[in-house]
Amino acid sequence: MIRQPDREIDERIYRDVMGSFATGVTVITTKVDEAVYGMTANAFMSVSLKPKLVAISIGEKANMLQHINKSKQFAINILSSNQQNVSKQFSGQLDTEASILFSTYKGLPILEQSLAVITCELHSQYVVGDHTIFIGLVTGVKLEPKDPLLFSQGKYRELSEKES
């Protein structure tokens, strides 16, 4: 039996607490009937090394949900520090239709200039609350020597080294 959460938790405070966790920024891409789709997401994690599995979480209102369900595959583009506008474009924060350059890797559209790319076949999925968690079986990986784009407390951040 699932215990009901404490109704005393303020939604704004909860969102602020969750937003205080610094994350990388990704754009999830897929292709359906020759059309390319993408969305910005920071809900991504490695699940398993054997077999190689990753997870992404997509809200029930996002169009990407139906695209992944149809294509049964997706790419996770881990954005580099110079791709803030790419993140904004795919999250609907930019009013202009910027020209996005895609290339193809393992049959999936990927973003040029990304720090890393992970291509996946859909392994399984789980509806949890107001999101669907997609588990992807990793089919390919690419890595470039770049710094990551970070997000924390509602702002884009850059990585800096601290002295030991």
Q: Where are the domains of the chain?
A: 24-151
Band (pLDDT 50/70/90 cuts) for residue 19 is confident
What pLDDT shows up at residue 101? Answer: 81
Q: Give me the percent of the chain exceeding a pLDDT of 90.
A: 63
- In this prediction, residues 112-124 reach a mean pLDDT of 96
Cis amide bond preceding 145, omega within 30: no
Contacts for 110 with CB less than 8 Å, ≥ 6 apart: 29, 75, 77, 102, 103, 104, 117, 119, 142
This prediction has a pTM of: 0.88
What pLDDT shows up at residue 39? Answer: 94
- Please tell me the class of the 24-151 domain: mainly beta
Which neighbouring-strand residues pair with 141? 118
Q: Which stretches does DSSP call E strand in the chain?
A: 23-24, 26-32, 35-41, 44-48, 53-59, 73-78, 102-105, 108-111, 116-128, 131-143, 150-152, 155-157
